[in-house]
Amino acid sequence: MDEAANISTVTLVNNMNVFGRDIKIKEGVLALGGLLLISSSNKASKRLDNEFKEITARQSDPGCVKSFSSLEDDLVKSYYSNKDDNKIQILIEKYNNAKQIDNNKVKDIITKSQEYKENIDKNIRRINDEFNKTHSYHRKTFYKERDTIMNCSTVELCKLTENIISEYANIIANRYDIDSAKCLLGHLINVDECFDNDKVIFKEMIKNKLIDSFKSRTLNNLERIKYSVLKSYVSNNNYSKEEAIKLINKEYDNSMNSLKKKYLHIMDIYYMKYISELESIRNSTAISLSSTPLKDYELEANNEFYNNMYPCIYNEMITYALNPNYKLGDYKINDMSNYNIINNNIILG
């Protein structure tokens, strides 16, 4: 581009490397009338056409623009394709056989085509904004819960885990049949012992079983730490009593911080999967024949966020909470949609 304004130089450019570039005109070129720009087609909007023309007049330099328009350009074809497929062909044949072309008529067609394309782009931006509102709400909800986990204390993490168990018990009792409940919870508790036709009772039984198991394993973990530290304290007298107590608390906090890291990792993995799924949902609703694509997208996105992503997250979190020795990757649930849903209403949110 530095050589574009030299005498007898021809430079071929596209939109990417011409807009925003300051082409410095040499003295000899100024004397000959400045820069000559030739446009082989019209841009998607009048604004871009005007910006292209303004390149010749930067710094008040002289110059001129020659524009060539064709009724066979994609810009014009896209305008007429939604109106009358034959009309554009008739116009092309008319001008091919004409001795003189009505430039004003052609300009009018180009202007209408640009306005049509600009309106389409405007609608696309509006629709994308509407799509993004749903994602933005989900993103804020997700990161709020993620921040809660990240900043909670050991005691708060235990309480948070109990809340997750309660929420998940509600999901299982209200959405899944007994066989699916066994698949989802059979590695943690005996679901048959919890089952009741009354969903409220079923939910409470699941919740109590899981919480009791969590408390028991958390307590066992604490006792294990105490035994290890106190054994060293008694046998080797390496610590004072106060130091031993501090060390027990520290080791226990480290153990719970490990669980916290697992929680955050699980959330991040599923959120990335959710982002990918959103793109698929957006594309499918955009090309659907539905009269309410935005509403359809919102429903699909909510279903993916609340009915698929969060139950998966909760299942893995509870599994790792009840199995402190599990390392990341030791357990992973299949997609929740693989199980028999008896109630597809959104449970969370």
Verdict on whether the full-model pTM lies above 0.75: no
Identify whether residues 120 and 268 lie together within a single domain: no
Identify whether residues 181 and 256 lie together within a single domain: yes
Identify whether residues 26 and 170 lie together within a single domain: no
Secondary structure (3-state) at 67: strand
Q: Are 277 and 255 in contact (CB under 8 A)?
A: no
How far is the C-alpha of 109 from the C-alpha of 93, rounded, in Å? 15
Q: Are 25 and 36 in contact (CB under 8 A)?
A: no
Q: For residue 316, what are the CA distances in angstroms to 225, 254, 263?
A: 24, 20, 8
Q: What is the pLDDT of residues 161-197, one digit of tens each?
A: 999 999 999 999 988 888 889 988 999 999 999 999 9
* pLDDT in the model for residue 318: 94
Identify whether residues 189 and 322 lie together within a single domain: yes
Q: What is the pLDDT of residues 279-317, one digit of tens each?
A: 888 777 766 666 777 788 888 888 888 888 888 899 999
Is 142 inside a domain boundary? Answer: no
Q: What is the pLDDT of residues 36-84, one digit of tens each?
A: 888 877 777 778 777 777 776 666 778 888 877 777 788 877 777 766 6
- What total of structural domains would you count in the chain? 3
Identify whether residues 33 and 79 lie together within a single domain: no
Q: For residue 194, what are the CA distances in angstroms to 182, 202, 279?
A: 10, 6, 39
Q: What is the pLDDT of residues 120-145, one digit of tens each?
A: 788 778 777 877 888 888 899 999 99
Secondary structure (3-state) at 38: strand
Residue scoring higher pLDDT (335 or 21): 21
234, pLDDT greater than 70 = no
Confidence band, pLDDT 50/70/90 cuts, at residue 337: low
Length of the chain: 349
334, pLDDT greater than 60 = no
Is 139 inside a domain boundary? Answer: no
Is 141 inside a domain boundary? Answer: no
Q: Are 255 and 225 in contact (CB under 8 A)?
A: yes
Is 101 inside a domain boundary? Answer: yes
Residue 81's domain spans which residues?
A: 71-132
Identify whether residues 59 and 8 lie together within a single domain: yes
Identify whether residues 46 and 97 lie together within a single domain: no
CB atoms near residue 40 (< 10 Å):
11
Identify whether residues 168 and 285 lie together within a single domain: yes
Q: Are 53 and 17 in contact (CB under 8 A)?
A: no
CB atoms near residue 146 (< 10 Å):
15
Identify whether residues 78 and 47 lie together within a single domain: no
